Amino acid sequence: MMSLKQTVVRISELRDAAQLIEIDKLVWNPKTTPAVIHPVSREDFLQNNPPGSQLVAVMGDAVCGYLGFSCPTPLESNRHVYEINIAVHPSCQRLGVGRALMEGMKRYAAEQGKRKLCLRVLATNENALEFYRSCGFIEQGRLVEEFYLDGRYVDDILLWLPVQGDKQ
C-alpha cells in the first residue's frame, strides 16, 4: 500500500467513473446507507455524479476514495451550503485518505465562497460518526427512528461544519 504522501486530491474526471462505481459497490450497505444500492451503468452513474461533482483521492493510478458535494436545494438562499458524502475503498481505510479528502473539501468550499458543510449519517455507522466528529463536525439535528434497517429503527444524524475562509 502506498503512503499518504503519495495521495493526490483532485476534482473528479470522466476517467474515474469505473473506479468510483466500484468503491460504491464495496462501501454502501445497510449499515452505511438507508438506500438499496443497485448495480448502475456507467451512464447512470455519470448522470448522477458528473465529472467535477466530487473530489477524488488518488494513489498512483488508483482512485482510493471520493467526497461528493452539491448544494442541498436549488434555492439561491441555500447556495452557501455544500451537502457532502464520502466513501473510501476498504483497502485504503484508516490510512488518512478520508482526512485528506475532508481537508481538500474544506479548502475547496472556502475557495467557492461556501459557509457551511453538512452531511447525514446513520447512528449505526459509529466509525463514520467518530471520523466526522474528529474532523470538527457537530450534530445539528437527529431524525429519530427515521429508517427501518435490518430489523430495527435507526436514527439519521445531521452534522455540520462551518467553513473557514475569506469569502463570505
Instruction: Identify the helix (H) or strand (E) that includes residue 129.
Output: helix 126-134
Residue 127's CB is within 10 A of a number of other CB atoms, namely 12
**Contact 64/7 with Cβ under 8 angstroms?**
yes
- CA atoms within 13 Å, Cβ hemisphere of 84: 28
pTM of the model: 0.89
- CA atoms within 13 Å, Cβ hemisphere of 38: 3
Average pLDDT in the chain: 91
The confidence band for 7, taking pLDDT boundaries of 50, 70 and 90, is confident
Cell of 103: 481537508
Distance in angstroms (rounded) separating the CA atoms of residues 9 and 33 = 24
12-33 residue pLDDT tens: 999 999 999 999 999 988 778 8
Distance, first Cα to last Cα, the chain:
40
75-86 residue pLDDT tens: 999 999 999 999
Q: Which residue from 7, 32, 9 is spatially nearest to 101, judged by alpha carbons?
A: 9
The confidence band for 5, taking pLDDT boundaries of 50, 70 and 90, is low
Place of cell 474526471: 13
Instruction: Identify the helix (H) or strand (E) that includes residue 121.
Output: strand 116-122
142-157 residue pLDDT tens: 999 999 998 999 999 9
Identify the sign of the CA torsion 125, 130, 131, 136: positive
